[in-house]
Structure 1
Amino acid sequence: MDRMNVTEEFAGMQLPGHLHTPQSLQYAQEFPFREEDVVIVTYPKSGTTWMQEILTLIYSKGDPTIATSVPNWVRAPWLEHIYFKDNIKDEEGPRFITSHLPSDILAPALQKSKAKVIYIMRNPKDVAVSFYYFHKMAKFLPDVTSFPEFLKLFLEGQVYYGSWFDHVKGWYSQKNNLDIFYIRYEDMCKDLRRSIKKLCGFLGCPMYSGEVDKIEQNCKFDIMSKNIMVNYTLVPKEILDHEQSKFMRKGVVGDWKNHLTDEQNEVFDKLYKEKMSNCDLEMVWNID
Protein backbone atom coordinates (compact mmCIF):
# COMPACT_ATOMS: atom_id res chain seq x y z
CA MET A 1 0.00 0.00 0.00
CA ASP A 2 2.43 2.61 -1.30
CA ARG A 3 2.41 6.31 -0.41
CA MET A 4 -0.81 6.14 1.61
CA ASN A 5 0.17 9.11 3.77
CA VAL A 6 1.85 11.16 1.04
CA THR A 7 0.33 14.40 -0.21
CA GLU A 8 1.27 15.74 -3.63
CA GLU A 9 1.19 19.48 -4.29
CA PHE A 10 0.27 20.37 -7.87
CA ALA A 11 -1.07 23.53 -9.49
CA GLY A 12 -2.01 25.02 -6.12
CA MET A 13 -3.95 22.01 -4.89
CA GLN A 14 -3.30 18.90 -2.84
CA LEU A 15 -3.74 15.38 -4.17
CA PRO A 16 -3.35 11.91 -2.60
CA GLY A 17 0.15 10.56 -3.18
CA HIS A 18 -1.18 7.00 -3.27
CA LEU A 19 -2.68 7.75 -6.68
CA HIS A 20 -0.51 10.60 -7.97
CA THR A 21 3.19 11.31 -8.43
CA PRO A 22 4.95 14.35 -9.95
CA GLN A 23 5.65 12.18 -12.98
CA SER A 24 2.03 11.03 -13.43
CA LEU A 25 0.76 14.59 -13.08
CA GLN A 26 3.26 15.94 -15.58
CA TYR A 27 2.31 13.17 -18.00
CA ALA A 28 -1.37 14.11 -17.62
CA GLN A 29 -0.67 17.76 -18.31
CA GLU A 30 1.19 16.93 -21.53
CA PHE A 31 -0.99 14.03 -22.71
CA PRO A 32 -1.61 14.04 -26.49
CA PHE A 33 -5.38 13.64 -26.78
CA ARG A 34 -6.81 12.19 -29.97
CA GLU A 35 -9.90 13.17 -31.91
CA GLU A 36 -11.66 9.90 -30.97
CA ASP A 37 -11.09 10.34 -27.23
CA VAL A 38 -14.01 10.91 -24.89
CA VAL A 39 -12.91 12.59 -21.66
CA ILE A 40 -15.06 12.49 -18.51
CA VAL A 41 -14.26 15.40 -16.19
CA THR A 42 -15.71 15.96 -12.74
CA TYR A 43 -15.04 17.37 -9.34
CA PRO A 44 -14.91 14.36 -6.95
CA LYS A 45 -18.20 12.71 -5.97
CA SER A 46 -20.19 14.24 -8.80
CA GLY A 47 -21.26 11.17 -10.78
CA THR A 48 -17.99 10.04 -12.35
CA THR A 49 -18.56 6.30 -11.90
CA TRP A 50 -22.08 6.63 -13.26
CA MET A 51 -20.84 8.31 -16.43
CA GLN A 52 -18.10 5.71 -16.91
CA GLU A 53 -20.81 3.06 -16.87
CA ILE A 54 -23.13 4.96 -19.20
CA LEU A 55 -20.37 5.45 -21.78
CA THR A 56 -19.36 1.80 -21.60
CA LEU A 57 -22.93 0.73 -22.29
CA ILE A 58 -23.56 3.32 -25.03
CA TYR A 59 -20.60 2.04 -27.00
CA SER A 60 -21.52 -1.60 -26.38
CA LYS A 61 -25.10 -0.91 -27.56
CA GLY A 62 -26.41 -1.88 -24.14
CA ASP A 63 -24.55 -5.21 -23.94
CA PRO A 64 -23.46 -5.48 -20.26
CA THR A 65 -20.65 -8.01 -20.89
CA ILE A 66 -17.77 -5.52 -20.64
CA ALA A 67 -19.42 -3.59 -17.83
CA THR A 68 -19.68 -6.76 -15.72
CA SER A 69 -16.28 -8.25 -16.56
CA VAL A 70 -13.77 -5.35 -16.72
CA PRO A 71 -13.20 -2.90 -13.82
CA ASN A 72 -14.32 0.63 -14.62
CA TRP A 73 -10.88 2.05 -13.85
CA VAL A 74 -9.54 -0.10 -16.70
CA ARG A 75 -12.37 0.80 -19.09
CA ALA A 76 -12.05 4.54 -18.40
CA PRO A 77 -8.68 5.04 -16.64
CA TRP A 78 -7.83 8.17 -14.68
CA LEU A 79 -5.49 10.39 -16.66
CA GLU A 80 -3.57 11.70 -13.66
CA HIS A 81 -3.24 8.40 -11.78
CA ILE A 82 -0.05 6.38 -11.54
CA TYR A 83 -1.44 3.39 -13.43
CA PHE A 84 -2.85 5.37 -16.40
CA LYS A 85 -0.03 4.45 -18.79
CA ASP A 86 -0.64 0.76 -18.13
CA ASN A 87 -4.36 0.93 -18.89
CA ILE A 88 -4.77 3.42 -21.72
CA LYS A 89 -5.22 1.66 -25.04
CA ASP A 90 -3.17 2.61 -28.06
CA GLU A 91 -5.48 1.10 -30.63
CA GLU A 92 -7.73 3.14 -32.90
CA GLY A 93 -11.26 4.02 -31.92
CA PRO A 94 -12.82 5.79 -28.92
CA ARG A 95 -10.79 5.80 -25.71
CA PHE A 96 -12.55 6.72 -22.47
CA ILE A 97 -10.40 8.87 -20.17
CA THR A 98 -11.39 10.15 -16.73
CA SER A 99 -10.04 13.12 -14.79
CA HIS A 100 -10.63 15.34 -11.77
CA LEU A 101 -8.05 17.90 -12.91
CA PRO A 102 -9.03 21.58 -13.27
CA SER A 103 -9.46 23.28 -16.63
CA ASP A 104 -6.29 25.35 -16.46
CA ILE A 105 -4.30 22.10 -16.45
CA LEU A 106 -6.16 20.12 -19.12
CA ALA A 107 -7.86 22.65 -21.37
CA PRO A 108 -4.72 23.76 -23.25
CA ALA A 109 -4.02 20.21 -24.44
CA LEU A 110 -7.69 19.53 -25.15
CA GLN A 111 -7.97 22.71 -27.23
CA LYS A 112 -5.29 21.30 -29.56
CA SER A 113 -7.38 18.19 -30.17
CA LYS A 114 -10.92 17.43 -31.24
CA ALA A 115 -11.56 15.18 -28.25
CA LYS A 116 -15.06 15.24 -26.78
CA VAL A 117 -15.39 16.30 -23.15
CA ILE A 118 -18.27 15.43 -20.83
CA TYR A 119 -18.42 17.56 -17.69
CA ILE A 120 -20.76 16.44 -14.91
CA MET A 121 -21.89 18.96 -12.30
CA ARG A 122 -23.52 18.11 -9.00
CA ASN A 123 -24.86 20.54 -6.44
CA PRO A 124 -22.07 21.27 -3.96
CA LYS A 125 -24.08 20.52 -0.83
CA ASP A 126 -24.56 16.90 -1.89
CA VAL A 127 -20.94 16.80 -3.11
CA ALA A 128 -19.74 17.87 0.34
CA VAL A 129 -21.78 15.16 2.06
CA SER A 130 -20.64 12.44 -0.35
CA PHE A 131 -17.00 13.58 -0.19
CA TYR A 132 -17.14 13.46 3.62
CA TYR A 133 -18.27 9.82 3.60
CA PHE A 134 -15.60 9.01 1.03
CA HIS A 135 -13.00 10.38 3.44
CA LYS A 136 -14.30 7.96 6.06
CA MET A 137 -13.64 4.94 3.82
CA ALA A 138 -10.62 6.02 1.72
CA LYS A 139 -7.43 5.37 3.65
CA PHE A 140 -5.42 7.59 1.28
CA LEU A 141 -7.44 10.68 2.24
CA PRO A 142 -6.94 12.74 5.43
CA ASP A 143 -8.91 11.76 8.51
CA VAL A 144 -11.81 14.04 9.34
CA THR A 145 -13.37 13.81 12.77
CA SER A 146 -16.79 15.28 11.96
CA PHE A 147 -18.97 16.59 9.16
CA PRO A 148 -18.88 20.21 10.46
CA GLU A 149 -15.08 20.06 10.36
CA PHE A 150 -15.08 18.73 6.81
CA LEU A 151 -17.74 21.18 5.63
CA LYS A 152 -15.62 24.12 6.81
CA LEU A 153 -12.61 22.82 4.86
CA PHE A 154 -14.76 22.16 1.80
CA LEU A 155 -16.18 25.68 1.76
CA GLU A 156 -12.67 27.10 2.12
CA GLY A 157 -11.41 24.94 -0.75
CA GLN A 158 -8.92 23.32 1.62
CA VAL A 159 -9.70 19.74 0.64
CA TYR A 160 -7.91 17.45 -1.80
CA TYR A 161 -8.61 18.48 -5.42
CA GLY A 162 -9.22 22.08 -4.36
CA SER A 163 -12.26 24.33 -4.54
CA TRP A 164 -15.53 23.05 -6.02
CA PHE A 165 -16.35 26.61 -7.07
CA ASP A 166 -13.09 27.08 -8.98
CA HIS A 167 -13.37 23.67 -10.63
CA VAL A 168 -16.91 24.13 -11.88
CA LYS A 169 -16.48 27.74 -13.01
CA GLY A 170 -13.17 26.92 -14.69
CA TRP A 171 -14.62 24.14 -16.81
CA TYR A 172 -17.80 26.10 -17.55
CA SER A 173 -15.64 28.91 -18.92
CA GLN A 174 -14.42 26.48 -21.61
CA LYS A 175 -17.85 26.18 -23.25
CA ASN A 176 -16.73 28.07 -26.36
CA ASN A 177 -13.25 26.55 -26.55
CA LEU A 178 -13.91 22.80 -26.45
CA ASP A 179 -16.29 20.22 -27.86
CA ILE A 180 -17.85 19.90 -24.42
CA PHE A 181 -21.15 18.58 -23.09
CA TYR A 182 -22.33 19.79 -19.69
CA ILE A 183 -24.76 17.65 -17.74
CA ARG A 184 -26.10 17.88 -14.21
CA TYR A 185 -26.10 14.88 -11.90
CA GLU A 186 -29.58 15.88 -10.81
CA ASP A 187 -30.91 15.76 -14.39
CA MET A 188 -29.52 12.24 -14.70
CA CYS A 189 -31.35 11.30 -11.50
CA LYS A 190 -34.59 12.92 -12.63
CA ASP A 191 -34.70 11.47 -16.16
CA LEU A 192 -31.90 9.01 -16.90
CA ARG A 193 -33.37 7.95 -20.23
CA ARG A 194 -33.50 11.51 -21.56
CA SER A 195 -29.93 12.09 -20.36
CA ILE A 196 -28.72 8.95 -22.15
CA LYS A 197 -30.39 10.03 -25.40
CA LYS A 198 -28.86 13.51 -25.19
CA LEU A 199 -25.43 11.95 -24.61
CA CYS A 200 -25.92 9.68 -27.61
CA GLY A 201 -26.66 12.76 -29.70
CA PHE A 202 -23.51 14.52 -28.51
CA LEU A 203 -21.39 11.43 -29.16
CA GLY A 204 -22.93 10.74 -32.55
CA CYS A 205 -24.13 7.29 -31.45
CA PRO A 206 -27.72 6.77 -32.63
CA MET A 207 -29.56 4.18 -30.55
CA TYR A 208 -32.60 2.01 -31.03
CA SER A 209 -35.18 2.18 -28.26
CA GLY A 210 -34.35 -1.35 -27.09
CA GLU A 211 -30.68 -0.46 -26.75
CA VAL A 212 -31.53 2.59 -24.67
CA ASP A 213 -33.71 0.32 -22.50
CA LYS A 214 -30.70 -1.90 -21.77
CA ILE A 215 -28.41 1.05 -21.02
CA GLU A 216 -30.97 2.59 -18.68
CA GLN A 217 -31.59 -0.69 -16.85
CA ASN A 218 -27.89 -1.46 -16.29
CA CYS A 219 -27.13 2.10 -15.15
CA LYS A 220 -29.66 2.14 -12.33
CA PHE A 221 -28.12 2.68 -8.91
CA ASP A 222 -29.23 -0.63 -7.41
CA ILE A 223 -27.79 -2.58 -10.36
CA MET A 224 -24.48 -0.71 -10.36
CA SER A 225 -24.10 -0.95 -6.59
CA LYS A 226 -24.09 -4.77 -6.88
CA ASN A 227 -21.64 -4.87 -9.79
CA ILE A 228 -18.16 -5.60 -8.42
CA MET A 229 -16.62 -4.05 -11.55
CA VAL A 230 -18.17 -0.74 -10.51
CA ASN A 231 -18.64 -0.64 -6.72
CA TYR A 232 -14.90 -0.79 -5.85
CA THR A 233 -15.23 -3.82 -3.58
CA LEU A 234 -12.36 -5.34 -5.58
CA VAL A 235 -10.07 -2.78 -3.93
CA PRO A 236 -8.43 -4.07 -0.70
CA LYS A 237 -9.91 -2.97 2.61
CA GLU A 238 -6.58 -1.37 3.50
CA ILE A 239 -7.28 1.17 0.74
CA LEU A 240 -11.09 1.44 0.71
CA ASP A 241 -12.88 0.27 3.84
CA HIS A 242 -16.50 -0.47 2.92
CA GLU A 243 -17.30 -1.18 6.55
CA GLN A 244 -16.88 2.54 7.22
CA SER A 245 -19.00 3.64 4.25
CA LYS A 246 -20.05 2.21 0.92
CA PHE A 247 -18.44 3.66 -2.20
CA MET A 248 -21.88 3.73 -3.79
CA ARG A 249 -23.74 4.98 -0.75
CA LYS A 250 -27.10 6.46 -1.81
CA GLY A 251 -26.97 8.10 -5.23
CA VAL A 252 -29.77 10.54 -4.43
CA VAL A 253 -30.43 14.27 -4.67
CA GLY A 254 -30.97 16.31 -1.52
CA ASP A 255 -29.22 14.15 1.10
CA TRP A 256 -27.58 17.37 2.27
CA LYS A 257 -30.85 18.19 4.10
CA ASN A 258 -30.09 15.28 6.45
CA HIS A 259 -26.64 16.68 7.31
CA LEU A 260 -26.53 20.49 7.15
CA THR A 261 -28.00 22.47 10.03
CA ASP A 262 -30.02 25.60 9.26
CA GLU A 263 -27.01 27.70 10.23
CA GLN A 264 -24.62 25.70 8.02
CA ASN A 265 -27.08 25.92 5.14
CA GLU A 266 -27.32 29.67 5.54
CA VAL A 267 -23.54 30.04 5.48
CA PHE A 268 -23.34 27.76 2.44
CA ASP A 269 -26.00 29.73 0.56
CA LYS A 270 -24.27 33.03 1.26
CA LEU A 271 -20.91 31.77 0.05
CA TYR A 272 -22.46 30.14 -3.01
CA LYS A 273 -24.10 33.43 -3.97
CA GLU A 274 -20.78 35.26 -3.61
CA LYS A 275 -18.66 32.70 -5.46
CA MET A 276 -21.12 32.08 -8.30
CA SER A 277 -22.34 35.65 -8.83
CA ASN A 278 -20.50 35.90 -12.15
CA CYS A 279 -21.65 32.50 -13.43
CA ASP A 280 -25.02 31.76 -15.04
CA LEU A 281 -25.05 28.08 -14.07
CA GLU A 282 -28.16 26.90 -12.28
CA MET A 283 -27.87 24.21 -9.64
CA VAL A 284 -30.62 21.78 -8.68
CA TRP A 285 -30.76 21.31 -4.92
CA ASN A 286 -33.80 19.02 -4.66
CA ILE A 287 -35.94 16.82 -6.86
CA ASP A 288 -39.61 16.86 -5.90
Structure 2
Amino acid sequence: MTLNKMEDLKFDATERLSFDYVQGILQPTPTCDTWDQIWNFQAKPDDLLISTYPKAGTTWTQEIVDLIQNDGDVENSKRAPIHVRFPFIEWIIPSLGCVCWGSWYDHVKGWWEAKDKHRILYLFYEEMKKNPKHEIQKLAEFTGKKLDDKVLEKIVHHTSFDVMKRNPMANYSTIPTKIMNHSISPFMRK
Protein backbone atom coordinates (compact mmCIF):
# COMPACT_ATOMS: atom_id res chain seq x y z
CA MET A 1 0.00 0.00 0.00
CA THR A 2 1.15 3.53 -0.62
CA LEU A 3 -1.08 5.20 1.91
CA ASN A 4 1.68 7.33 3.36
CA LYS A 5 3.46 8.67 0.32
CA MET A 6 3.01 12.42 0.36
CA GLU A 7 4.16 12.59 -3.24
CA ASP A 8 1.07 10.57 -4.23
CA LEU A 9 -1.11 13.46 -3.08
CA LYS A 10 -1.38 16.11 -5.75
CA PHE A 11 -1.53 19.65 -4.40
CA ASP A 12 -1.20 23.09 -5.83
CA ALA A 13 -0.74 26.18 -3.70
CA THR A 14 -4.48 26.91 -3.53
CA GLU A 15 -5.86 23.41 -3.23
CA ARG A 16 -7.31 22.17 0.07
CA LEU A 17 -7.66 18.57 1.09
CA SER A 18 -11.28 17.42 1.29
CA PHE A 19 -12.71 15.28 4.10
CA ASP A 20 -15.47 12.78 4.69
CA TYR A 21 -16.48 10.27 7.35
CA VAL A 22 -15.57 6.59 7.56
CA GLN A 23 -17.39 4.67 10.27
CA GLY A 24 -18.24 7.96 11.97
CA ILE A 25 -14.65 9.27 12.04
CA LEU A 26 -13.56 12.26 9.98
CA GLN A 27 -10.86 11.31 7.46
CA PRO A 28 -9.18 12.95 4.46
CA THR A 29 -10.87 11.89 1.21
CA PRO A 30 -7.77 9.95 0.01
CA THR A 31 -8.05 7.80 3.14
CA CYS A 32 -11.79 7.34 2.57
CA ASP A 33 -11.10 6.34 -1.03
CA THR A 34 -8.75 3.56 0.08
CA TRP A 35 -10.67 2.50 3.19
CA ASP A 36 -11.62 -0.92 1.79
CA GLN A 37 -7.94 -1.63 1.15
CA ILE A 38 -7.06 -0.44 4.66
CA TRP A 39 -9.89 -2.36 6.32
CA ASN A 40 -9.12 -5.58 4.42
CA PHE A 41 -5.37 -5.44 5.01
CA GLN A 42 -4.09 -8.80 6.24
CA ALA A 43 -1.00 -8.58 8.40
CA LYS A 44 1.68 -11.22 8.16
CA PRO A 45 2.75 -12.98 11.36
CA ASP A 46 5.99 -10.98 11.51
CA ASP A 47 4.41 -7.56 10.80
CA LEU A 48 4.73 -4.96 13.51
CA LEU A 49 1.96 -2.41 13.98
CA ILE A 50 2.80 0.85 15.71
CA SER A 51 -0.44 2.41 16.84
CA THR A 52 -0.14 5.80 18.46
CA TYR A 53 -2.38 8.77 18.75
CA PRO A 54 -1.13 11.64 16.56
CA LYS A 55 1.74 13.68 18.03
CA ALA A 56 2.25 11.18 20.85
CA GLY A 57 5.67 9.76 19.95
CA THR A 58 4.86 8.07 16.64
CA THR A 59 7.94 9.24 14.73
CA TRP A 60 10.15 8.58 17.73
CA THR A 61 8.88 5.00 18.03
CA GLN A 62 9.18 4.42 14.27
CA GLU A 63 12.81 5.56 14.28
CA ILE A 64 13.59 3.36 17.28
CA VAL A 65 11.98 0.33 15.62
CA ASP A 66 13.85 0.93 12.37
CA LEU A 67 17.18 1.14 14.18
CA ILE A 68 16.37 -1.97 16.23
CA GLN A 69 15.45 -3.92 13.09
CA ASN A 70 18.69 -2.80 11.44
CA ASP A 71 20.94 -3.49 14.45
CA GLY A 72 21.62 0.21 15.03
CA ASP A 73 22.81 0.86 11.45
CA VAL A 74 22.27 4.63 11.26
CA GLU A 75 23.30 4.80 7.61
CA ASN A 76 20.56 2.30 6.70
CA SER A 77 17.98 4.51 8.41
CA LYS A 78 18.95 7.27 5.96
CA ARG A 79 17.66 5.15 3.03
CA ALA A 80 14.38 7.09 2.96
CA PRO A 81 12.34 9.55 5.01
CA ILE A 82 10.43 8.03 7.92
CA HIS A 83 7.05 8.48 6.21
CA VAL A 84 8.31 6.29 3.35
CA ARG A 85 10.01 3.68 5.57
CA PHE A 86 6.84 3.22 7.66
CA PRO A 87 3.44 3.17 5.95
CA PHE A 88 0.94 4.96 8.16
CA ILE A 89 -2.36 6.68 8.41
CA GLU A 90 -2.09 9.83 10.50
CA TRP A 91 -3.70 13.05 9.53
CA ILE A 92 -4.17 16.49 10.99
CA ILE A 93 -6.85 18.61 9.39
CA PRO A 94 -5.12 21.99 8.99
CA SER A 95 -8.26 23.94 8.16
CA LEU A 96 -10.04 22.60 11.24
CA GLY A 97 -7.02 22.43 13.54
CA CYS A 98 -8.03 19.01 14.81
CA VAL A 99 -6.88 15.45 14.33
CA CYS A 100 -8.76 12.66 12.70
CA TRP A 101 -9.28 9.36 14.50
CA GLY A 102 -11.54 10.68 17.23
CA SER A 103 -10.66 11.04 20.87
CA TRP A 104 -7.43 10.02 22.54
CA TYR A 105 -9.44 8.20 25.20
CA ASP A 106 -11.30 6.07 22.64
CA HIS A 107 -8.04 5.28 20.83
CA VAL A 108 -6.30 4.10 24.00
CA LYS A 109 -9.36 2.26 25.30
CA GLY A 110 -9.71 0.32 22.05
CA TRP A 111 -6.11 -0.89 22.15
CA TRP A 112 -6.32 -1.66 25.87
CA GLU A 113 -9.34 -3.86 25.21
CA ALA A 114 -7.40 -5.68 22.47
CA LYS A 115 -4.63 -6.76 24.85
CA ASP A 116 -6.34 -10.05 25.68
CA LYS A 117 -6.64 -11.02 21.99
CA HIS A 118 -3.28 -9.94 20.59
CA ARG A 119 0.36 -9.76 21.59
CA ILE A 120 0.68 -6.07 22.40
CA LEU A 121 3.47 -4.05 23.98
CA TYR A 122 2.37 -0.80 25.57
CA LEU A 123 4.95 1.95 25.68
CA PHE A 124 4.31 5.09 27.66
CA TYR A 125 5.77 8.38 26.48
CA GLU A 126 6.65 9.43 30.03
CA GLU A 127 8.59 6.21 30.59
CA MET A 128 10.39 6.59 27.26
CA LYS A 129 11.44 10.12 28.26
CA LYS A 130 12.52 9.03 31.76
CA ASN A 131 14.48 5.91 30.78
CA PRO A 132 14.85 5.55 27.00
CA LYS A 133 17.51 2.84 27.23
CA HIS A 134 15.24 0.58 29.28
CA GLU A 135 12.21 1.17 27.02
CA ILE A 136 14.24 0.62 23.83
CA GLN A 137 15.59 -2.63 25.29
CA LYS A 138 12.02 -3.69 26.14
CA LEU A 139 10.90 -2.89 22.58
CA ALA A 140 13.86 -4.80 21.13
CA GLU A 141 13.02 -7.87 23.21
CA PHE A 142 9.37 -7.61 22.15
CA THR A 143 10.46 -7.72 18.49
CA GLY A 144 12.77 -10.68 19.13
CA LYS A 145 16.04 -8.74 18.95
CA LYS A 146 18.86 -8.94 21.45
CA LEU A 147 20.93 -5.77 21.42
CA ASP A 148 24.38 -5.48 22.92
CA ASP A 149 25.01 -2.42 25.07
CA LYS A 150 26.99 -0.59 22.35
CA VAL A 151 24.13 -0.88 19.82
CA LEU A 152 21.58 0.05 22.48
CA GLU A 153 23.53 3.21 23.40
CA LYS A 154 23.82 4.10 19.70
CA ILE A 155 20.03 3.82 19.28
CA VAL A 156 19.43 5.89 22.42
CA HIS A 157 21.71 8.61 21.04
CA HIS A 158 20.33 8.64 17.49
CA THR A 159 16.72 8.71 18.68
CA SER A 160 17.23 11.54 21.15
CA PHE A 161 15.10 14.58 20.41
CA ASP A 162 18.04 16.84 19.54
CA VAL A 163 19.50 14.35 17.04
CA MET A 164 16.13 13.51 15.45
CA LYS A 165 15.20 17.20 15.17
CA ARG A 166 18.28 17.68 12.93
CA ASN A 167 17.74 14.44 10.97
CA PRO A 168 15.96 15.14 7.63
CA MET A 169 14.99 11.45 7.40
CA ALA A 170 13.04 11.79 10.67
CA ASN A 171 11.99 15.45 10.94
CA TYR A 172 9.71 15.63 7.87
CA SER A 173 11.78 18.42 6.30
CA THR A 174 11.85 16.42 3.03
CA ILE A 175 8.12 17.02 2.57
CA PRO A 176 7.41 19.87 0.14
CA THR A 177 6.87 23.27 1.78
CA LYS A 178 3.42 23.60 0.21
CA ILE A 179 2.34 20.60 2.29
CA MET A 180 4.31 21.27 5.50
CA ASN A 181 6.00 24.62 5.94
CA HIS A 182 8.70 24.20 8.58
CA SER A 183 9.47 27.94 8.62
CA ILE A 184 6.02 28.45 10.16
CA SER A 185 6.13 25.46 12.48
CA PRO A 186 8.67 22.62 12.38
CA PHE A 187 7.32 19.11 12.77
CA MET A 188 9.50 18.51 15.81
CA ARG A 189 9.05 21.44 18.15
CA LYS A 190 9.62 20.39 21.75
Q: TM-score, normalised by structure 1?
A: 0.58
Query: 5+ unaligned residues in a row in structure 2: which ranges?
Result: 1-9
Mapped pair 1:179 → 2:132: no
Please give the per-residue CA displacement for 1:11-70, whole angstroms capped at 9, x wherever unaligned.
1110123x5232x22111100110010110011111110011001100111110122231
Identity over aligned pairs, percent:
35
Mapped pair 1:211 → 2:164: no
Out of 9, 12, 19, the position equivalent to 2:24 is 12
Tell me how far 1:204 sits from its aligned partner. Answer: 1.2
Out of 241, 250, 253, the position equivalent to 2:181 is 241
Tell me how far 1:71 sits from its aligned partner. Answer: 1.1
Report SS of the residue matched to 2:182.
coil
Alignment correspondent of 1:191:
131
Out of 50, 54, 72, the position equivalent to 1:62 is 72
In the alignment, is the contact (CA less than 8 A) between 2:133 and 2:156 conserved in 1?
Answer: yes
Alignment correspondent of 1:74:
84
Tell me how far 1:230 sits from its aligned partner. Answer: 0.9
Report SS of the residue matched to 2:178.
coil
Could you tell me how far apart the structure 2 residues matched to 1:12 and 1:204 are? 37
- Code of the aligned partner of 1:25: W
Q: Between Structure 1 and Structure 2, how many residues are aligned? A: 178
Alignment correspondent of 1:52:
62
Please give the per-residue CA displacement for 1:91-136, whole angstroms capped at 9, x wherever unaligned.
xxxxxxxxx5xxxxxxxxxxxxxxxxxxxxxxxxxxxxxxxxx96x
In the alignment, is the contact (CA less than 8 A) between 2:22 and 2:32 conserved in 1?
Answer: no
In the alignment, is the contact (CA less than 8 A) between 1:16 and 1:141 conserved in 2?
Answer: no
Choose 1 or 2 for highest CA Rg. Answer: 1
Tell me how far 1:143 sits from its aligned partner. Answer: 4.2
Alignment correspondent of 2:4:
none
Out of 32, 46, 71, the position equivalent to 1:21 is 32
Query: 5+ unaligned residues in a row in structure 1: which ranges?
Result: 81-99, 101-133, 145-149, 151-158, 251-288
Could you tell me how far apart the structure 2 residues matched to 1:141 and 1:29 are? 25
Could you tell me how far apart the structure 1 residues matched to 2:183 and 2:28 are? 21
Root-mean-square deviation (CA, aligned residues, Å) is 1.8
Could you tell me how far apart the structure 2 residues matched to 1:30 and 1:198 are? 30
Tell me how far 1:8 sits from its aligned partner. Answer: 2.5
Report SS of the residue matched to 2:140.
helix
Please give the per-residue CA displacement for 1:163-204, whole angstroms capped at 9, x wherever unaligned.
111111111111111111001011111110000111111111
- Code of the aligned partner of 1:142: S
Mapped pair 1:142 → 2:95: yes
Tell me how far 1:218 sits from its aligned partner. Answer: 0.6
Please give the per-residue CA displacement for 1:121-155, whole angstroms capped at 9, x wherever unaligned.
xxxxxxxxxxxxx96xxxx52244xxxxx7xxxxx
- Code of the aligned partner of 1:4: R
Q: TM-score, normalised by structure 2?
A: 0.87
In the alignment, is the contact (CA less than 8 A) between 1:13 and 1:162 conserved in 2?
Answer: yes
Report SS of the residue matched to 2:152.
helix
Could you tell me how far apart the structure 2 residues matched to 1:66 and 1:77 are? 17
Alignment correspondent of 1:256:
none
